[in-house]
Amino acid sequence: MTEAIRNAIAAGHYEAGTRMPEKELCELTGVSRTLVREALRQLESEGLVQVIPHKGPIVAKMTVEQAAGTYEVREVLEALAARRFAEYATDEHMNQIEAAFEDVRRAYESGKVVDRLEAKNIFYTRLVEGGGNEAIGLALHMINSRTMLLRGRSLSRENRWQQSLLELEALLEALRKRDPEAAHRLATEHVRMAAKAALSSFDEGAALKRGN
């Protein structure tokens, strides 16, 4: 239920600053208003939703500065997770992340932003599990919730998904070789490229508003 609302935001069904009528959310999720409100409270705690008095829930807005800062933190966390995976993952962990990557490949080829986001979330879950540091996983969960809309911006850009897949494939190869330094570097580069794609959409939005 919560994931369904989160994915609707990521897919652009609800854009930043727009209202999210409870009736629509009930129809979207197929649950009662009480459960929808519980989901909204969870998303509010993650910074994805704001509840405005006398107006109701809206999708939270994020400035370009906030977005850049969020990606900066995500970069550190994912690079650390990749390093730890290369150092500590078992063969079973490797099998699981290999399978997760194939799901990412299929999702990317499907052309659906939500499918891509869901598959990548599972990939990162496997990455964290292999590294054995629960704190990284908890921190990444919060960061990825805040970047859900931004990741949608990034992956929906023309040709970004193809490049993203190549970056993840290179990272996977470093994990296979149990190369912590290469894994750290490639994970860092992957997030930086995603940030570049997402942040450039802010510039384009500003240009559109100016009528350029």
Taking Cα atoms as reference points, which of 28, 16, 24 lies closest to residue 59?
16
* 131 or 15, which is more confident: 131
Mean pLDDT across 65-78: 93
pLDDT for 185: 98
pLDDT tens figures, 161-181: 889 899 999 999 999 999 999
CA distance 138 to 140: 6
* Cα 202-47-137 angle, rounded to 5 deg: 100
Q: Can you give the pLDDT at residue 143?
A: 87
pLDDT, average across residues 92-113: 92
Dihedral sign for Cα atoms in the order 62, 71, 156, 6: negative
For residue 200, is pLDDT > 60? yes
Range among 54-63, 78-87, 102-111 rated most confident: 78-87
For position 152, what pLDDT does the model report?
56
Mean pLDDT on 186-202: 89
Local structure of residue 51 (DSSP, 8 states)? E
Q: What is the pTM of this model?
A: 0.81
